[in-house]
Structure 1
Amino acid sequence: MRYNKYLLVFFFISIFTSCEKEFLDIVPDNLATIDLAFTNQYNAEKYLYTCYSYLPSPSAINENPALNAGDEIWYPETERNNNGPTVAQGFQNITTPRFDFWRGNNGGKALYVGIRNCNIFLDNVDNVPGLDKFIKEKWKAEVNFLKAYYHFYLLRMYGPIVINDEALSVSASTDEVKVDKNTVEEAFEYVISLLDKAISGLPETLQFEDEEMGRVTKPIAAAIKARVLMTYASPLFNGNTVYSSIKNSEGKSMFPSSYDASKWERAAKACKEAIDMAEGVGAALYQKADYVDPFPQNDTTLLKAALRGRVTERWNKEILWGHTENTSGIQYNSMPRLYGYTSNPVASRHSPPLRIAEMYYSENGVPIDEDVNFDYNNRYKIKEASSADRFHVEQGQKTAVLNFDRETRFYADLSFDRGVWFGNGRDLDTDPWYIHSRKGEFASVFEISQYSVTGYWPKKLINIKTTVKNGTSLSTNRYAFPIIRLADLYLYYSEALNEMKSAPDNEVYQYIDLVRERAGLDGVVESWSNYSKDPNKPTTKEGMREIIQQERLIEMAFEGGRFWDLRRWKLSEIYMNKPIKGWSVLEQDVEDYYNVRVLYNPSFSQKDYLWPIAEGELVNNPNLQQNPGW
């Protein structure tokens, strides 16, 4: 069944980029062009698509900092001058900032131009002759959502931003364009108010799916509102004393001076409203029963395939908001060589470090360093796979102890040397692919820029039907790369409830346990009670906070969530000041291959929590202040 009534896939952006370029290239200061854009419904709708065209692509590795500008992915040295790796290494700068979404440079879209186009649309849509009132109000709601989303994207990156609520006239004075930043609280409240306005006017589902595919609906806006409020309530923006002395040119404090617990209550309410709204139109976690396979497979294989499908299944009832643009690129960079091609159809360089492999739970659903049964101290030693391991590790072959006895998401999301790879041209789990990645083997180094430097690959990002054609090119099955999905909301809600209560209770456990149950795990309380060295951890607020955070890092891995979560939790300075490690992948002998190697020692300081504003922008507008430390 196709659940595209609420799954938004942005086919129309690429369509109108190619077919209606004259309108996507509108220069708003050209009054004649603006007047032409609103002469009739057809032209006005094309201008609406212009407003949509500034949406940042979540799956483009050089355009989304959340994919590779943190500690979740690492690249070969020859690729480390690209946008994400440059930031991850600590080489961000103020002259030409990477991912400059303020001005639209170095992988960033010009979001203030997008906001200006939204303002122009809102100023002019009432003048379109004969436009039906219902359509007009729906369009306004869509554009108010986009305007809110663009402000939020900037706010999450830069902290204090300039709220742009009107389209300045071409005759505006110099002083009018030299505006000051608004405070963080002003910006958040502005975004929330815009989202409320949008939610009231948006439809619950698309009325004409074929014509409107890609348009925003009420559940999407509610889900993003929940994300906004979770960010607002989190430590980076709620009671962060590091920024208490930061003021604008008028002497106004740019950050809230004290912690406000009520923000978690607002966030929890928004999460529950978003969950109810999404479930009300048919959204649900993508389960093993939803994965349809024409061949008889082992139950373990089916669960692994379904867990991959929670991200890469195109008509996925869990994804509330997704984007199809560029998923072929991320698959090309993430997929290992499954056999010995004569040419190189995949790059294989989007590589999770060792810490990501260690992050996933044991098969008992607790952290591997807490599991009373997991051989944590010997996790880097070598073990031979038995028949009992055959659905995860090639039988009779050796790999690290770390790769045995892990939760199913570990095997669904990651691949590794001697790991089993089902699908992608092998339709029976009795005859899967096996990853061979030691020196000289087919998944090892093909070129100096095209291999996994860590010895792991993010299988989660590869559609199970993507294949290599004739050994020469990747035939990718595109999918809607998630911006937000239902599991996101469940874990947000659990987190917000835990923060607003004095101690966790069944309501806190309920929503995290739904995500765990889908992954084949027992609930939090049961798992910790039976297998953890710290069985009472889920009974305290602090312990449950750690559990929820790790659950989010696992469940949302490789989708961009980790990057922003570590920032809003103020934990990036801990994670990003630890060495990036991997296996010694250039070695041939098994004992040498499984030696841990330090790939890089990144550096992260307080200034790195917020993006720098380009120096040229500060010259153009002296009223702006550079972010702290830059």
Structure 2
Amino acid sequence: MKKLYFKICLYVSLLLPIVSCDDFIDPAPENILGKDDIYYRPNLAQGLLINAYLRIPTNGWSFSEMATDDAVSNDLTNGYLNMATGQWASNSNPVDRWTSAQSAIQYINVVLEEIDEVNFSEIPSVNQMFSDRIKGEAYGLRALFMYYLLQAHGGVAGGELLGIPINLQSQNVSSDFNQPRSTFEQCMDQLYTDVDQALALLPMDYQNINDEALVPAQYRELGAKASDYNRAFGDDAIQLLSGRIALAVKAQAALLAASPAFNLSSDQSKWAEAAEYSGDILTDIGGLSGMDPQGHTWYANTSEIDNIGGGANPREILWRTTIGDANNSLEAQNFPPTLFGEGLVNPTQNLVEAFPMASGYPIGDPASGYLAEAPYQGRDPRLQAFIVVNGSTAGASNKVIDTAQDSETNDGLNKVESSTRTGYYLRKLLRQDVNLDPVSNSQQRHIQPRIRYTEIFLIYAEAANEAWGPTAMGNYSFSAYDVIKAIRQRAGIGLSNGDPYLESIKGDQEAMRNLIRNERRLELSFEGFRFWDLRRWDLSLTETAKGIRIMNDSDYAVINVENRVYADYMIYGPVPYSEILKFAALQQNSGW
């Protein structure tokens, strides 16, 4: 058992912000944690894992859409703006995950090495359950961070698709850090192994039980009662990584591995794997009947958000961050100027044009009925639910927002620094019952998902369409077509006419592929997906970001707002330049 000074320093540096000085010295002549204390203070062991949780990228909104064709920033110093306009480099990378994720894995490996020696309880069954739960969490988290590292840094180097160096042991001052990158396939195999190990240790969901017969046999044999089980695996553990969350990570990673940029051999079996992993999760919630009717407005379901308690999740959300105190920071960042906001994220005309008509037809289809002189009439209801367009009302006061170039307010196109550059403002994610007026300022609770069930439905739709075609079901009771139809109906599309556009393409795999990708673009907009999706699909990142210039309430003109400057090799992100300088064994992805 390694009990090196390096590890003790690690424990101390991590846990000083978490526990008080009195917790460390009991008493002690110096403010230094004894090297054996972790074995008798289980809160310290759990604190190591908390550090990994705190490094999950989806703990906060990134708005990486501002580096794509979906949005621009009105902050001309914004890192995504700089990235998208030609300044993305291996030593200047706003989407870098290397250091943070590798650090998380280091903490996870320490936990896995030491956890069997930690004394959680004098009751053997309780001690074993806590140990198993934390090990299961650790394996699941290590798989999660592997996924994020492959997404951000996997790529082709020397003609081979590579991942990251695989580290399954904690590193110390005597470790050999100069390790080559493993292949992408080896990394995926390790990810799947970690998920399987997590599933062997974790319940599918954390919940209290009141029947001794429900205690798993291996713990009953140690004498565990229902109350003992609840201590480790009950309601108090909700929002920790569970078996169901581990399965979702497996589905996310499988979709990445099946996608064109990471599936160089075009192996169709990888699509089938992604469909099966996601399909199993969906079957467990009842298939299409498990789809939340309000899942597309999860951020605006204010009564639901305000009344969440006890770690519970809304029906739409599989995993979320902790709901904190009421605040208005997201609104302050993104409300239009007349609502006292900074208007930071400006949706593009490109994205607006991706919303179909309420009839289901794309706006470019001759049957759509789209009117260029009244571009927001008769559209997919999600358009004005997600985006503030000219004439929309917004905020607690239901103020009419005038985004025209000849607007008499600062909400108009390019009026002031905090004005829109595209003719649009963000609505999605924002609580409209927030008031930023200094005289009558108000705050509200917000919810931030890490994984939504809509994402799992869309993973299944994409993978099933590629593996089996639009209407085939594999071993499930629903097809890609069925999922997309349900998502569109939920949004209010085709309710009066049966969605004839969808019906016309349900036998065409390529047309269905394009529709699925578009539905993913809309449903997951501003949640940090578009940048990564374009890259894994091996699609161009260079579509010019556009806006709309409105004059005299009737003259609509599409304008170019911001060029996108990306080279072809940028479908793969770089290994950090600092790491390449330090370690000769590391290969940089081609082009960087």
Q: TM-score, normalised by structure 1?
A: 0.75
Instruction: Deviation per CA, 1:453-478: give whole Å up to 9, x if none.
Output: 111122111124323354575x3423
State the 1:623 CA deviation.
0.5
257, 261, 273: which one aligns with 1:266? 273
1:360 matched to 2:344: no
Contact (CA 8 Å) 2:68, 2:564: kept in 1 or not? no
Partner residue, 2:166: 163
Instruction: Deviation per CA, 1:596-623: give whole Å up to 9, x if none.
Output: 2211111222221122222221121011
Partner residue, 1:238: 263
Change (3 A) 1:34 1:365: farther
Give the residue type in structure 1 aligned to 2:282: I
Contact (CA 8 Å) 1:67, 1:73: kept in 2 or not? yes
SS at match of 1:595: strand
Change (3 A) 1:504 1:446: closer
Partner residue, 1:621: 583
SS at match of 1:477: coil
Instruction: Deviation per CA, 1:109-154: give whole Å up to 9, x if none.
Output: x211110010001100111125410111011011111111111101
- Alignment partners' CA distance in 1, 2:63 and 2:490: 29
1:101 matched to 2:97: yes
- Alignment partners' CA distance in 1, 2:166 and 2:32: 23
Unaligned runs of 5+ in 1: 1-15, 104-109, 240-257, 291-303, 382-400, 427-431
| Structure 1 segment 19-30 matched on structure 2, within 5 A | 19-20=18-19
Unaligned runs of 5+ in 2: 1-14, 25-30, 122-126, 155-162, 208-229, 309-313, 473-477
- Alignment partners' CA distance in 1, 2:488 and 2:169: 45
Contact (CA 8 Å) 1:362, 1:371: kept in 2 or not? no
1:135 matched to 2:103: no
Contact (CA 8 Å) 1:412, 1:459: kept in 2 or not? yes
Partner residue, 2:570: 608
518, 523, 527: which one aligns with 1:559? 527
Q: How many residues align?
A: 519
Instruction: Deviation per CA, 1:303-352: give whole Å up to 9, x if none.
Output: x9678439994642101122358985433322224xx56xx3x1112110
- Alignment partners' CA distance in 2, 1:312 and 1:629: 48
- Alignment partners' CA distance in 1, 2:279 and 2:400: 43
Contact (CA 8 Å) 2:464, 2:470: kept in 1 or not? no
State the 1:283 CA deviation.
9.9
| Structure 1 segment 29-44 matched on structure 2, within 5 A | 35-44=36-45
Name the % identity.
25
Contact (CA 8 Å) 1:144, 1:195: kept in 2 or not? yes
Contact (CA 8 Å) 1:145, 1:198: kept in 2 or not? yes
State the 1:215 CA deviation.
1.1
SS at match of 2:383: helix
1:286 matched to 2:292: yes
SS at match of 1:321: strand
Partner residue, 1:119: 109
Contact (CA 8 Å) 1:417, 1:435: kept in 2 or not? yes
Partner residue, 1:410: 383
Partner residue, 2:489: 517
Partner residue, 1:296: none
State the 1:445 CA deviation.
7.0
SS at match of 1:268: helix
State the 1:516 CA deviation.
1.5
SS at match of 1:181: coil
Instruction: Deviation per CA, 1:2-46: give whole Å up to 9, x if none.
Output: xxxxxxxxxxxxxx99643889x9xxxx99666433332222222
1:84 matched to 2:74: no
Contact (CA 8 Å) 1:90, 1:604: kept in 2 or not? yes
Give the residue type in structure 1 aligned to 2:479: E
- Alignment partners' CA distance in 2, 1:603 and 1:536: 36
Give the residue type in structure 2 aligned to 1:55: I
RMSD between aligned residues: 3.4
Contact (CA 8 Å) 2:255, 2:463: kept in 1 or not? yes
Change (3 A) 1:437 1:22: farther
Change (3 A) 1:417 1:277: same
Contact (CA 8 Å) 1:504, 1:541: kept in 2 or not? no
- Alignment partners' CA distance in 1, 2:458 and 2:135: 31
Contact (CA 8 Å) 1:418, 1:434: kept in 2 or not? yes
Partner residue, 2:468: 501
Change (3 A) 1:279 1:33: farther
- Alignment partners' CA distance in 2, 1:118 and 1:518: 40
Partner residue, 2:402: 436
Give the residue type in structure 2 aligned to 1:547: L
531, 547, 559: which one aligns with 1:582? 547
Contact (CA 8 Å) 1:305, 1:464: kept in 2 or not? no
471, 489, 507: which one aligns with 1:539? 507
1:215 matched to 2:262: no
Change (3 A) 1:539 1:185: same
State the 1:452 CA deviation.
1.5
Partner residue, 1:13: none
Change (3 A) 1:22 1:56: farther
Partner residue, 1:247: none
Give the residue type in structure 2 aligned to 1:270: Y
State the 1:196 CA deviation.
1.8
Partner residue, 2:73: 75
Change (3 A) 1:95 1:495: closer
Change (3 A) 1:373 1:118: closer
Q: Mean Cα displacement is larger for which, 214-223 or 142-151? A: 214-223
Contact (CA 8 Å) 1:313, 1:463: kept in 2 or not? no
State the 1:360 CA deviation.
0.6
Contact (CA 8 Å) 1:333, 1:348: kept in 2 or not? yes
Give the residue type in structure 1 aligned to 2:573: W
- Alignment partners' CA distance in 1, 2:329 and 2:277: 34
Change (3 A) 1:568 1:310: farther
Contact (CA 8 Å) 1:466, 1:476: kept in 2 or not? yes
Partner residue, 2:12: none
Instruction: Deviation per CA, 1:358-405: give whole Å up to 9, x if none.
Output: 101101022111250423xx52x3xxxxxxxxxxxxxxxxxxx22111
Instruction: Deviation per CA, 1:159-201: give whole Å up to 9, x if none.
Output: 12111111123323xxx21000011111112112211211232
- Alignment partners' CA distance in 2, 1:35 and 1:332: 47
